[in-house]
């Protein structure tokens, strides 16, 4: 058992109050060549058992369920997809342990509400984005500022179907962390390096970076 009885009780209390609609959590996992996959399976099973009516867990192996993995663009394991009636482009790549457990929980809550936790102004500004955008947030399980940056990206993905949010555990995905020169976390990389910034920024600043990346993208596509 990964979650203590106390944590389960707290989680039950939180989820029973906060969850609105049903959430599907899809875990892409494999037994070979993945140290954290079995822990991710156990963790997600325990979370889904807390609110089985609202959280539906499906576990896939990219080696066996190739078509499903392809449809979700899965390149790494473990990868967690959190979705409602549709796929919002929210992915967690790695094991959401330590402080990142709250990112997983908050992601499930927001998706269940089917609405982003953002100001009306931000939601309005994000509506203009009509090109594919990917917000990659590098995190570690011991970083206190990472969950707020990760959840912000998830909310942006909820606000506009052209935006994807990829939360990447930097220590589990060292090759990606090296490629994007992650020295401090949270590090946010938009469209694979079009715009980058470090630190948990307030909503307005985060929006500014996303809009500036979108404007660059638009110029490139003209």
Q: How many CB atoms lie within 10 A of CB 49?
A: 13
Are residues 59 and 90 in contact, defined by beta-carbon separation less than 8 angstroms? Answer: no
CA-CA distance, 11 to 191, in Å (whole number)? 34
Are residues 148 and 202 in contact, defined by beta-carbon separation less than 8 angstroms? Answer: no
Q: Which CATH number is 1-114 given?
A: 3.40.30.10
Are residues 137 and 201 in contact, defined by beta-carbon separation less than 8 angstroms? Answer: no
CA-CA distance, 51 to 67, in Å (whole number)? 29
Tens-place pLDDT, residues 87-126 = 999 999 999 999 999 999 999 999 999 999 999 999 999 9
CA-CA distance, 136 to 91, in Å (whole number)? 9
Q: How many CB atoms lie within 10 A of CB 137?
A: 26
Q: Which CATH number is 116-222 given?
A: 3.40.30.10
The angle, 0 to 180 degrees and rounded to 10, between the axes of the packed helices 5-18 and 101-113 is 20
CA-CA distance, 66 to 157, in Å (whole number)? 25
Tens-place pLDDT, residues 120-140 = 999 999 999 999 999 999 999
Q: Read off the pLDDT band of 148 (50, 70, 90).
A: very high
Inter-CA distances, 136 with 45, 117, 210, Å? 26, 19, 11
Are residues 157 and 201 in contact, defined by beta-carbon separation less than 8 angstroms? Answer: no
CA-CA distance, 53 to 162, in Å (whole number)? 30
Tens-place pLDDT, residues 13-68 = 999 999 999 999 999 999 999 999 999 999 999 999 999 999 999 999 999 999 99
Domain parsing of the chain, residue ranges: 1-114, 116-222
């Amino acid at each position: 058992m990964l979650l203590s009885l106390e944590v389960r009780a707290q989680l039950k209390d939180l989820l029973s109050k906060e969850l609105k609609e049903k959430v599907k959590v899809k875990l892409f996992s494999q037994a070979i060549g993945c140290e954290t996959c079995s822990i991710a399976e156990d963790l997600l099973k325990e979370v889904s058992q807390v609110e089985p009516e609202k959280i539906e867990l499906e576990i896939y192996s990219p080696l066996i369920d190739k078509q499903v993995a392809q449809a979700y663009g899965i390149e790494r394991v473990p990868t967690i997809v959190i979705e409602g009636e549709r796929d919002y482009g929210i992915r967690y790549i790695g094991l959401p342990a330590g402080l990142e457990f709250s990112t997983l929980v908050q992601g499930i809550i927001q998706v269940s509400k089917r609405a982003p936790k953002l100001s009306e102004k931000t939601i309005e500004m994000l509506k203009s984005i009509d090109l594919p955008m990917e917000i990659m947030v590098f995190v570690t399980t011991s970083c206190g500022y990472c969950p707020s940056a990760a959840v912000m990206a998830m909310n942006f993905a909820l606000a506009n179907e052209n935006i994807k949010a990829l939360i990447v555990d930097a220590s589990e995905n060292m090759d990606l962390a090296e490629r994007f020169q992650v020295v401090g976390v949270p590090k946010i990389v938009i469209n694979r390096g079009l715009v980058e910034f470090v630190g948990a920024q307030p909503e307005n600043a985060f929006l500014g970076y996303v809009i500036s990346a979108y404007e660059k993208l638009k110029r490139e596509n003209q």
